[in-house]
Amino acid sequence: MSGTVAVLGGGAWGTALACVARRAGRPVRIWVRNAQAAEAIAAGSNPGRLPGVALERGIAASTDLAEVLSGADFALLAVPAQVLRSVAEAAAPVLPDGLPVAICAKGIERGTLKRMSEVLAEALPAARACVFSGPTFAAEVARGLPTAITLAAADQDAAARIQAGVGSGTLRAYLSDDPVGAELGGAIKNVIALAAGIATGRGLGENARAALVSRGLAEMVRLSVAEGGRAETLMGLAGAGDLILTAMSETSRNTSFGIAVGEGRRIGDVLTARRAVTEGYWSAQAVAALAARAGVDMPITQTVNAILDQKLDVDAAIAQLMERPTASEFRS
């Protein structure tokens, strides 16, 4: 039997990826923070993160990082973006040198403005970093519904090992050598999805949502290219594909959060009521700051950040966007 897959993170996405690896015939161990969650996953469910979803049998769960990583063929790092650094630092003493590690979080680290691969390079320099990005609702992946995803890395040998380890009849991983574009696409689309949700919650109609998604994709391309990514990457699964899924579905964490804000609910109350992490909320400030540092115009991102910082109310923000000077659609 092929080598063990280590999954770090027992949230919805980490649990879904553990199911994928088991479905591909791999032994799987998953690290979670508390013993109760470990017991539930080992017994075939994760009611706190994937309610109603029956997990693949045979997933071993533990609160011990060393136990989970011991003898692993590769690792999937599926923790929220803003805690990725701390988990990677905790794993550093027990991670085998040269182990391929796929980053499964989508975000920009607040404060440092670093992409997740840059964070990993600092916290876990022995790892061979890869990036998962693309249109993936965790519950559908866990149930075995058809899914396609981008697996991006400068180290294509490491990516190919992970591709072989998770590929099955229900998940298809496409290789890319543009991790910058894949990472930024995954991070920025969450912010654009918040904007789409706000428009929906405010009752602005489908035309407005389509416009925000289209112009948001242009913002994703501009910043990614400025940071060294390729525009074509943003036209694929890690860009347009992920944005379409996230921004056009009201079950998306980011879109549903935006809807609540658009309906006039207090941001703090919406956050408190949620168990799952809304990555767009935590990344908006960092994406806006990264754009400012790069000199890239991103009015939708900047407007969302101003709303979340409570510097603009929703109606004033919408008016501000609509009153911007008109320009060529395809400016450089």
Residues with catalytic function = 189
Secondary structure, 3-state, the chain: CCCEEEEECCCHHHHHHHHHHHHCCCCEEEECCCHHHHHHHHCCCCCCCCCCCCCCCCEEEECCHHHHHCCEEEEEECCCHHHHHHHHHHHHHHCCCCCEEEECCCCECCCCCCEHHHHHHHHCCCCEEEEEECCCCHHHHHHCCCEEEEEECCCHHHHHHHHHHHCCCCEEEEEECCHHHHHHHHHHHHHHHHHHHHHHHCCCCHHHHHHHHHHHHHHHHHHHHHCCCCHHHHCCHHHHHHHHHHHHCCCCHHHHHHHHHHCCCCHHHHHHCCCCCCHHHHHHHHHHHHHHHHCCCCHHHHHHHHHHCCCCCHHHHHHHHHCCCCCCCCCC
